[in-house]
Amino acid sequence: MDRIVIRGGRRLSGRIPISGAKNAALTLLPCALLTDQPLTLRNLPRLADVDGFGHLLNGMGVSTAIAGGSPAEFGRAMTLTADRITSTTAPYDMVRKMRASILVLGPLIARAGEATVSLPGGCAIGNRPIDLHLKAMEALGARIEIASGYVRAIAPDGGLRGGRIAFPVVSVGATENALMAASLANGESVIDNAAREPEIVDLCECLMAMGAEIEGIGGERIVVHGKPSLHGADYAVMPDRIEAGSYACAAAITGGSLELAGARADDMAAIIDALGEAGLVVEAMDGGLRVTGDGRLKPLTLSTAPFPAFPTDMQAQFMAMLALADGASVLTETIFENRYMHVPELARMGADVQTRGRVAVVRGVAGLTGAEVMATDLRASMSLVLAGLAAEGETRVHRVYHLDRGYERLEEKLSAVGADIEREADG
C-alpha cells in the first residue's frame, strides 16, 4: 500500500490539465450494455474505479479495448462492445468496492430483460437511496425482488414500458439509471424532479449520440421517447469539475496561481462563486480557467445541495482551505450524514474545526503543521493533501488508494506546478 509524502510551504504556479470526469465516466461506461454495437469513450481518466467498472462489464460479456494514448499521457480512449450479454449479475465482490456498479441495473433490465445486482456495500436499503433506483425500475414495469443481499429485477413480457417516474428527492444515480432504462422502454417516459448535474447532461448527450430521443436535458423534468434499439457512438467524457475545483483550492491554500486547462466555468458556477467570496481571483481563459490566490483567505458560510448549488464533493477541500482563512467559516452538509471523517485528521495538522451534527465551524489558524494522517474516503483524502501543501514540515498521507479512485496521477500534476510531493511504499 502506498502513501503520499508532502513537504509543504511552496507556492504553486503553472498549468494543470483537467482529466475526464470520474463521475461522468462511471455513468457512461454502462451505456455500452444498451447496444450490440461498439461504444468508444474518449478522455476516460486513468482511475482505479474506471478500471474496476471495466472489469465488471467484462464479466458480463462486454469486450474492452484501449485505443491510443501512451501510459505517460493523461486520459485514454476505450471501445466497449456488448454484442452479446453473457451474464446479468453484478456480484457482491465487485459492487462492494464501487457503489456506481448499481448503474448496470437499468441497462441490463432494458436490454436483457433481467438483472441481479448486489446491494452496494451490503447496506440496508432504507439507509441509502437505492430504493429510488428500484422505484424507477418499477415505474417502467419491472418486477423487483430482494433476497440474500441481492436485487433481482425482471422486465415484463415485451420489455420495459414507458411510465412516469417522480423522485421525492433528487438522486443523481437514480436519475441516471432511469434515463438508461427509459431509452429502450416502449413508449414515453417522464422523469420528474430529475437531477440536473452536468454529469446527467453528459449522459443524455451520450445517449442521444447513440440514437436516444430525450427532451428537457438539464431541467427538472426530462422526457425520454424509448427506442427499440440504440447504436454505437464515439463520445468524449466531460472534464472533471470536482478535480478542477480541488486544484483551485490548491492555488488558494498555497497563495499560488494555476491554469486549469480544460475546466468549464458553466459546470462550476457555485464553486467559482465561493472561491471569489473567499478572496480568489478566477478568470476565464481560452480552454480553461486561471485561479490566483494573492492574499489572506476570507471566511465563508456554505451549505451543500444538489446542482446548481455548492457540491458535497467539494466540502472537504474547502474545509482544508478555510482552515487558514481570516475568521470563522460555517459549513453545512445536507447530502451525506457522515462526511466529516476528515476533521480529526485535519485537527492533527493544527486545524480548528468543531462539528455538531451536519454543521462544522472552521476557525482559521495562522498556519498548519505537517503530520501523519489517514485518508478515510476520496474527497477527504484530497483535503489532507491540500492541507499538506500549505503545512510547515512534512505530511504523510496514508491509505491513498482512495485518491487513486478519483484523481488521475495527482502527485505528477502537483509536482509539475512546484509542489514537493512524492509517492512511496507504505512500509
Residues carrying an active site annotation: 123
Rounded-to-integer distance, Cα 337 and Cα 105, Å = 25
Rounded-to-integer distance, Cα 83 and Cα 31, Å = 13
310: closest CA among 419, 210, 197? 197
Rounded-to-integer distance, Cα 85 and Cα 165, Å = 27
Residues 6+ apart with CB under 8 A from 319: 331, 342, 343, 346, 351, 353, 360, 362, 383
Residues 6+ apart with CB under 8 A from 351: 319, 320, 323, 343, 362, 365, 368, 387
- Residue 301 grid coordinates: 458560510
Rounded-to-integer distance, Cα 398 and Cα 124, Å = 29
- Residue 201 grid coordinates: 447532461
180: closest CA among 125, 136, 232, 130? 136
- The full length of the chain comes to 427
